[in-house]
Structure 1
Amino acid sequence: MSKAPASASKTAPESVVRHGVDHSQELGHGNSPAAWTCVIVMLVGALIASIAFVIASTPIFIAGAVVMVLGLIAGYIMRKAGYGVEGSKLKNSGH
């Protein structure tokens, strides 16, 4: 185990290019209100569709699929509104 503090991070070389892709930039994990909303709404839709599949109900299955599409749309709208990764609504204003 390393004795380095938890805040210490390993730094990658300035430009790491493999197979034509620059790997020096951190990709992040999509931790934003837009991403969380999208995923949670889509999970609810998948749950509805799964239950409908088990009970063999086509209308409820379609409703679950519609909820999943609505999750994608909600995430996209929230991202455009500034709630995505590095969005304008999430930046620290210095207060």
Structure 2
Amino acid sequence: MADSSHGHTPAAWTGVIIAFIGFGIGAAFTVMAQPVGVVAGLVVVALGGVVGMVMRSMGLGAPKESQDAADRRERAGVTS
């Protein structure tokens, strides 16, 4: 797993950090029994996913593997 670059991109880090903050907001408002705050936390979590996807589409995510590279990896018997 150490050689994997899974999640090591600005898009992934930003999306996860925003979602983490949203979970914190939702948890705090759950303890305070404030449903509107819980919903606001869920909106922030969803915003983290959207921001991550937008950043990935801007080229800040991991590049997609070409079909040729996938075929070579499969022929070599390497699993990801």
TM-score above 0.5: yes
Helix, strand or coil for the counterpart of 1:30? coil
Compute the RMSD of aligned alpha carbons: 1.5
Paired residues in the alignment total 62
What does residue range 1-95 of structure 1 map to in structure 2 within 5 Å?
Answer: 27-86=4-63
Structure 1 or 2, whichever has the larger Rg, is 1
Q: Which residue of 2 aligns with 1:15?
A: none
Cα deviation 1:23-77 (Å, max 9, x = unaligned): xxx6522100000000000000000000010000000000000000000000000
- Identify unmatched segments of 5+ residues in structure 1: 1-25, 88-95
Partners in 2 of 1:55 and 1:62 — Cα distance?
Answer: 13
Helix, strand or coil for the counterpart of 1:85? coil
Letter in 1 for 2:27: S
TM-score by length of 1: 0.61
Q: Which has the higher strand share?
A: 1
- Greater relative contact order (CA < 8 Å, ≥ 6 in sequence): 2
TM-score by length of 2: 0.72
